[in-house]
A and B are shown apart, each in its own frame.
Chain A
Amino acid sequence: MAIVAQHTKFSKIAWPILAWLVALIFFFPIAYMVMTSFKTDADAVKPEMLFSFTPTLENYANMTENYDYWRFATNSIITSVAATIFTLVVAVPCAYAMAFNPSRGTKDILMWMLSTKMLPAAAVLYPMIFLTKSVGLYDTHFLIVMVLSLINLPIAIWMLFTYFKDIPKDIIEAGQMDGLTTWGEVREILIPLAWGGIASTALLVFIFCWNEAYWTVRLTTTEAATLSKLIEGNRAPEGLFFGRLSAVSTAAVGPIVVLGWFCQKQLVQGLTFGAVK
């Protein structure tokens, strides 16, 4: 009994301390970035001003007035929302077919889709740039939406497949006996039953789209440039303008952090891939 009591006491104190420590380590870079965004570029590089500084909104004012923050933000929203919708429109029927009418090749196709994630993006970078320029798609919303969708389709299909697999086939068959069409099955049974899974998938895909930088930086100039491009544009090789860079970065990650905060439960569910329910 004594050992158990001791053990409980230890866990009650030690685990929270450890958890807080880890959380603080993870949170520090973000806190640092947010703090720096309220410093002048000169103050930002002074170590003695790490915590004690005179806050200024100069960087934010500068960002909206001179760098057209809202245009980049609008592009990020448009491309991420459109790509998330398009990804789901393709992935839901695809995962439905694989979960409920599997063929012999279904498992191989799933593995093949995942294997595309292993392709080094740099290998196809130049062909992509030349190709998109030659067909006039370079720096268009359409291109970015397509690229974001294609990057995220494998993961979306995998996630939805795992969620749909948990729905008993009998229920789908009962629906068939009751007169449901294929579209009816999706609308009346699949979507209501897998709503949590679909929401988690949508949320993750949206976050991945928002955070995507490799392609959005390289396939855009001005028209379809997203917030990743804005951050990239404020990066100075000499390491100057930290305040400005931090303001841009804070404004870019801000919305997604807030979104993530409100949807923690769904996110955890999504990240555990339907394993914990």
Chain B
Amino acid sequence: MGRIVLENVTKSFGETEVIPPLNLTIEDGEFAVFVGPSGCGKSTLLRLIAGLEDCTSGAIKIDGNDVTKVPPSKRGLAMVFQSYALYPHMTVRKNIAFPLRMAGMDQSDIDARVDQAAKVLNLDAYLDRKPGQLSGGQRQRVAIGRAIVREPAAFLFDEPLSNLDAALRVGMRMEISELHNKLETTMIYVTHDQVEAMTMANKIVVLQAGVIEQVGSPLELYRTPRNKFVAGFIGSPKMNFIEGDAAQKLGAHSVGIRPEHIDVVEANGQWQGTVGVAEHLGSDTFFHIHNTGLAETLTVRAIGDISLTHGDTIHLNPRADEMHRFGADGLRIA
């Protein structure tokens, strides 16, 4: 079990309020991702749940028990740190066994659990090595192993993949998702990378300046962003925003449309402009278009290879039903 409820939680460092009153529920078995730009308070929020920081006010409940004043190790949570935070003087086996040894478990039970975790994470061959002799990906697996053996109510991941190279990151992303499917344990995952958020989460919590901007499934956030911030943050490449008179004509203070929702046509398009940069990926083509009279640069994603290049005139048809309209306050107009 691992249902985590935050009730009016706040956090201040001295005079600075990092997290204004915040309410959030993470259901048992959910994969929740906290995402937002750096400094938005997502890591602080995770540390509050872990117990590594004290709440200034409010309550944190795990499975109905108030753990606000409970020390980290007694909350039944396990954390994986960005820096892996392995004990460099211990072998992999001892690292993974450490929380169990601290809990006073029998050596035979410890060995059984460590061996099982090592098997799940493909670490069997490395159990007698020290962390310094492992690659980044292997170290991250050891850190996950140390979390798994505790059989926690929930896993907390603090940007666990940001120290890995791009190829490894994609692999580890899959492994963590598979682990979640296998264990069905609650996971809370902090990242600034919206691609990680979209690919892994059941529930995304978008934060800005300590405030929750929106909570929802990846596709809910993609299809119906509550405000301009979420609309701009979720989705890659970023949503295009049309402001001013052009937006007024379309009936809003500003209008957002995703690059993949603008079709490239041969002639007589509703919009037209000049191709600035064309990125040909084979499967897709990204155009960065100027002189549209709508926005400084309009990004368009076209399927397949379209042979327009720099300086060419391009004709476009936006899909009217995929446009997002926002009011002056930045909120979505239904």
Contacts and interface: CB of A to CB of B under 8 A. Distances in A.
B96 to A, nearest CB: 11
Given A173-B52, A193-B88, A193-B89, A178 B83 contact: no
Contact of A176 (B71, B87, B146, B150): B71
B92 interface: no
B99 A179 contact: yes
Contacts of B146: 174, 178
Interface string A169-200: 01101111111100010001100110000000
B81 interface: yes
Contacts of A174: 79, 81, 85-87, 146
A157 B133 CA distance: 32
A184 B98 CA distance: 12
A174 B84 CA distance: 9
Nearest to A180: B102
A189 B86 CA distance: 11
Nearest to A195: B89
B77 A177 contact: yes
B72 A171 contact: no
B79 A189 contact: no
B73 interface: yes
A171 B88 CA distance: 9
Contact of A177 (B78, B82, B83): B78
A168 interface: yes
A57 to B, nearest CB: 49
Interface string A201-237: 0000000000000000000000000000000000000
Interface in A155-170: 168, 170
B81 A173 contact: yes
A170 B81 contact: yes
B73 A168 contact: no
A174 B50 CA distance: 11
Given A178-B102, A178-B146, A179-B103, A171 B85 contact: yes
A170 B77 CA distance: 16
A179 B85 contact: no
Nearest to B90: A192
Contacts, number: 55
Interface in B73-120: 73-74, 77-79, 81-89, 98-99, 102-103
B79 A192 contact: no
A193 B132 CA distance: 13
Contacts of A180: 73, 102
A177 B73 contact: yes
Contacts of A178: 73, 98-99, 102, 146, 150
B83 A168 contact: yes
Nearest to A193: B89
A188 B98 CA distance: 10
Interface string B227-245: 0000000000000000000
Nearest to A173: B52
Contacts of B73: 176-180
Contacts of B83: 168, 170
Contacts of A176: 51-52, 71-73
A180 to B, nearest CB: 6
A173 B85 contact: yes
Contacts of B89: 192-193
A139 B215 CA distance: 74
A170 to B, nearest CB: 4
Contacts of A193: 88-89
Nearest to B88: A193
Contacts of B85: 168, 170-171, 173-174
A168 B86 CA distance: 10
Contacts of B84: 170
Interface of A: 168, 170-171, 173-180, 184, 188-189, 192-193
The 10 closest A-B pairs by CB, nearest first: A179-B73, A170-B85, A179-B102, A174-B85, A178-B99, A192-B89, A170-B81, A170-B83, A176-B72, A171-B85
Given A173-B72, A178-B98, A179-B74, 7 more contacts: A171-B85, A171-B87, A174-B79, A177-B77, A177-B78, A180-B73, A188-B87
